[in-house]
Chains A and B, each alone.
Chain A
Amino acid sequence: MIKPASPFGFLLILACSFAGLSAARPAVAGTAAGTARIQDPASSAQRYGCLVCHADKRRAYQLGIHSDRGVQCHDCHGGNPTAFETPEAHGGDFKGSLGKLESLEVCSSCHTDPNQMRQYGLPADQIAELRTSRHGQLLLVEGNLDAPTCSDCHDPHTTLRPDDARSGVYPTNISATCARCHDDESLMAPYGIPTGQVAEHRHSAHGIALYEDQNFAAPTCIGCHGSHAALPPNVGEISNVCGRCHVNVRRAFDLGPHGQLEGGEAPLGCTDCHSNHDTERVATERIAQTCEGCHEAGGAETTLGAEVEQVLRRAESEMESAAEAVEELVRRGHEVSDERFRFRAALSEFRNLEMLQHTLDLQQMMDVERLIASASMDIRGKAEVSAEEKWEHKLFLIPIWFFALGIVFLAGYRLRRLRSETPDVEGTAGNGP
């Protein structure tokens, strides 16, 4: 590094820096240098030999994140980009189209380096994770080329960040990316893996939350199976996987008789009642029926299930009545902030009740049900008062019509008398009623 020995020396360094001649400039492999290279004429076909023949790849590449970071054709494919003749350009360490293993090797050359990845906030353990996955075992251990490599999920030229809506690994696109292989019956058959999971997921509660409500907290394939370390959860892991999001339900489940079971008698967990890919909320009226899937009809367990169902049904009915009462109060012009607050409190208790059903603790559930009923009664009370007022409005019509008909009668009587007094006048009118 040049040390400015005098003010003149300092000015010299400053001038050189502006001129791009500074000897103190560090070597940067990051954004600044990458951007500089994109803007550099070397990226054009006149300077960069690859583009002479592979111009079609240029546009796709420029849309991707690697273009911004300064990664160029020869960084992955090797060869000599300064050459304009094929033999020379494809000489040296030229790799050509990358195979699955080569692709993995090329990607890992940067993506396993924490020092390079840290600046982008990216982890550097994807390859290590991949080795633990079923995909990685097939590809790296068995050399099975049916298994995907990096470029099968991440477009190798237009590589995009996962939060870019155009990316194949964006939450709403990722199931389609997985489906490219997992909906291929011929590809899945040798491994005994069924297809159609993606369609099931789209119909599921999670799919509806994700695709219709755009709720990105809802899990896609990778939410449960992992991404680079993709594996189906073991039987014993299912409640842990679901419990990552459904924390309170998992806690309630563990407190209940199902959660206390161990060893061979332990049930699968959440998916026993809610299914896996076509995850659904068990409708209240099907709770007892669901119990009969494992327990004997008419037994103590199904009776308990029926009682749980009844508690939930009553609570649902209270909530519906309260919602209708609030709606009715709004329609009649009442200020309902207090009622809405009570309803929210009741709704919170209802969610608690839904969670508590997994404990199968009937007493605790009925305590919560009473709270819901109390809030509902308060709301309905105001609606009933309003309904009485509406009824009084109708009673108001009795004097109105009595008065109106009285006027009609008296005026009609007077009019009739007038006509009888002057029959000729009305007789010539010809347009009377």
Chain B
Amino acid sequence: MLMRVRTWLGQIGDDIRQSTDASLLSSLRFMGLLYGRIDRELPIDQALRKAWGRRLPSYVGWRHSFGGIAYLLFMVLVVTGVLLSFYYRPSVDEAYASLQYIATEVPFGWLIRDLHVWSANLIVLAILAHMARVFFTGAYRPPRETSWLVGVLLLFVVLAFGGTGYLLPWDQWAYWTSTEVMNVIGQTPIVGGAIVGLLTGDVFVSGATLSRFFALHVIVLPWAAFGLLVLHFVVVRKHGTAPPRGHVETQDAGTPYYPDHLLRMVIVSALVLAVSISLAALFPRAIGDPATPFEIPERLVSSWIVVDVSLGLIRTMGVWGFVGFSALGLLMVILPLVDRDTEKGLRRKPVVLGVGLLFFLGFLAFWAVGQQIDSVPPSAGIETRILEERAIPTPGASDVNAGGDAEARQEP
């Protein structure tokens, strides 16, 4: 018995001695988590070493970080989303109250919620920056067209994540913005009505819509994103990063992922996380009044970059502007089918270059325009029009309530 104990202790001693080497999983082994058959028979450590030791071409630099940033923000969204789902309740009666609870009662709930909101904004910018880098270097052309296609689909999935998540706070701003977007989608020829019918599950945005959006947000879309991400990584790994135009193949072995690129990603990740947390702390998403279909809010407050862009499009170019820009986004998907010539630079492809510039610069321009618009639901204009038709002066034009004090004393 004593001998057995002695042998056992000896094995542990050997393992601890082994764990003091420079193994990647030494810390896990030290804690006994990889002790025994797993450690001996599965070459986890070896696989990791191989992956980390993979060498990337020497032209891969800081500007290739946007994809990694998007992935990092996606993981932040997953983690904060899971934490939020611990407390969030997707029903008409409880959604708003659970949001209040998260924002004020849950320890660091405010941080988790606003980090989720800001990450949802930053990931769109990161993906667009990543996409722009790929586009302007012509990296979407064969043989990397699948990678481009999957990447654009990932963008759509992220937009769908944001669109479905936008309603979940169930406050007036979320409710009426979703209503407005549904109205616009409903005007899309042929398919608009069917899409809106499927999404809302009712004749207007209601509890049925909230349930559907929540199910899409936490069940359907995560699986779609996971599948597309795996496919994206596999394809990128297979074809590698596209060389810059005019790059001459050399015997250069490139730089290893570890530690060179990993250190680069650590720096970028630390900065992105710090910026995200700062935005969450400094500019928390305000909460509107509880959602009600019977009262139109005086104004809508946008908290997602895509809503700003949509607003800019709808207000300046009408519904068809929104539909047209969405069609432009779809055109980006089939870009590799149109432009397959790997020899010519984008300057010699003015149409393709124009489409790309229109998409990326248009996004930024309408984002800027959308932020300047004090959004009011279109339905709110109905009452004003009725009053105008009756030629009855609005309170602002009259001196009846001079000083506006009567309005100030309305119940908040």
Contacts and interface: CB of A to CB of B under 8 A. Distances in A.
B402 A283 contact: yes
B3 interface: no
Contacts of A211: 387, 390, 392
B286 A429 contact: no
Interface in B272-286: 273-274, 277-278, 281-282, 284, 286
Contact of B104 (A332, A350, A400, A426): A332
Interface residues of A, number: 59
Contact of A431 (B61, B260, B400, B405): B61
Contacts of B59: 429-431
B401 A281 contact: yes
Given A203-B393, A347-B411, A429 B61 contact: yes
A412 B260 CA distance: 10
Contact of A393 (B63, B99, B281): B281
A344 interface: yes
A330 B281 contact: no
Contacts of A404: 270-271, 273-274
B409 A418 contact: no
Contact of A332 (B61, B103, B390, B400): B103
A280 B255 contact: no
A428 B252 contact: yes
A396 B107 CA distance: 13
Interface string A391-433: 0011011001101110110011011001000100110111111
Interface stretch (B158-166, B224-232, B261-269, B343-351): B261-269
Nearest to B57: A429
Nearest to A333: B103
A281 B412 CA distance: 21
B259 A414 contact: yes
A281 B286 contact: no
B308 to A, nearest CB: 19
Contact of A335 (B97, B252, B259, B411): B97
Nearest to A206: B400
A212 B396 CA distance: 13
B402 A286 contact: yes
Interface stretch (A57-65, A88-96, A320-328): A320-328
Interface in A352-411: 386, 390, 393-394, 396-397, 400-401, 403-405, 407-408, 411
A425 B252 contact: yes
Contact of A333 (B60, B62, B100, B398): B100
A408 B267 contact: yes
A428 B408 contact: no
A202 B392 contact: yes
Contacts of A343: 411-412
A340 interface: yes
A208 interface: yes
B398 A407 contact: no
Nearest to B110: A393
A429 B56 CA distance: 11
Interface in B356-403: 387, 390, 392-395, 398-403
Contacts, number: 160
B186 to A, nearest CB: 30
B406 interface: yes
B398 A432 contact: no
Interface in B38-82: 58-63
Contacts of A408: 267, 270-271
A411 B408 CA distance: 55
Nearest to A202: B392
A319 interface: yes
B282 A284 contact: no
B406 A281 contact: yes
Nearest to B269: A407
Interface in B159-216: none
A428 B274 CA distance: 32
B104 A333 contact: yes
A212 B387 contact: yes
Contacts of A102: none
B104 A283 contact: no
Nearest to B243: A431
A146 interface: no
A204 interface: yes
B10 interface: no
A378 to B, nearest CB: 14
A400 to B, nearest CB: 5
Nearest to B406: A281
Contact of B267 (A281, A400, A412, A428): A412
A199 to B, nearest CB: 10
A148 B278 CA distance: 75
Contacts of B266: 407, 411
Contacts of B252: 425, 428
B244 interface: yes
B412 A431 contact: no
A285 B403 CA distance: 8
B298 interface: no
B93 interface: no
Nearest to A285: B403
B112 interface: no
B217 to A, nearest CB: 20
A251 to B, nearest CB: 22
Nearest to A280: B400
A327 B393 CA distance: 28
Contacts of B406: 281
Contacts of B244: 430-431
Interface string A42-70: 00000000000000000000000000000
B244 to A, nearest CB: 7
Contacts of B63: 431
Given A393-B111, A397-B278, A205 B400 contact: yes
Contacts of A335: 97, 100, 104
A405 to B, nearest CB: 8
B411 A340 contact: yes
Q: Which of A284, A393, A394, A412 has the most CB of B within 10 A?
A: A393
A180 interface: no
B263 A418 contact: yes
Contacts of A340: 411-412
10 contacts: A211-B392, A283-B402, A316-B409, A330-B412, A333-B110, A334-B100, A396-B281, A401-B274, A429-B61, A431-B244
Interface of B: 58-63, 97, 99-100, 102-104, 110-111, 244, 250, 252, 254-255, 259-260, 263-264, 266-267, 270-271, 273-274, 277-278, 281-282, 284, 286-289, 387, 390, 392-395, 398-403, 405-406, 408-412
Interface of A: 202-205, 207-208, 211-212, 280-281, 283-286, 316, 319-320, 323-324, 326-327, 330-335, 340, 343-344, 347, 350, 386, 390, 393-394, 396-397, 400-401, 403-405, 407-408, 411-412, 414-415, 418, 422, 425-426, 428-433
Given A347-B411, A428-B58, A430-B59, 17 more contacts: A208-B392, A208-B395, A211-B387, A212-B395, A286-B402, A319-B408, A330-B288, A331-B288, A333-B100, A350-B409, A401-B274, A407-B267, A408-B270, A415-B259, A425-B254, A430-B244, A433-B62
The 5 A-B pairs at the shortest CB distance, nearest first, are namely A333-B103, A404-B274, A331-B286, A283-B402, A431-B61
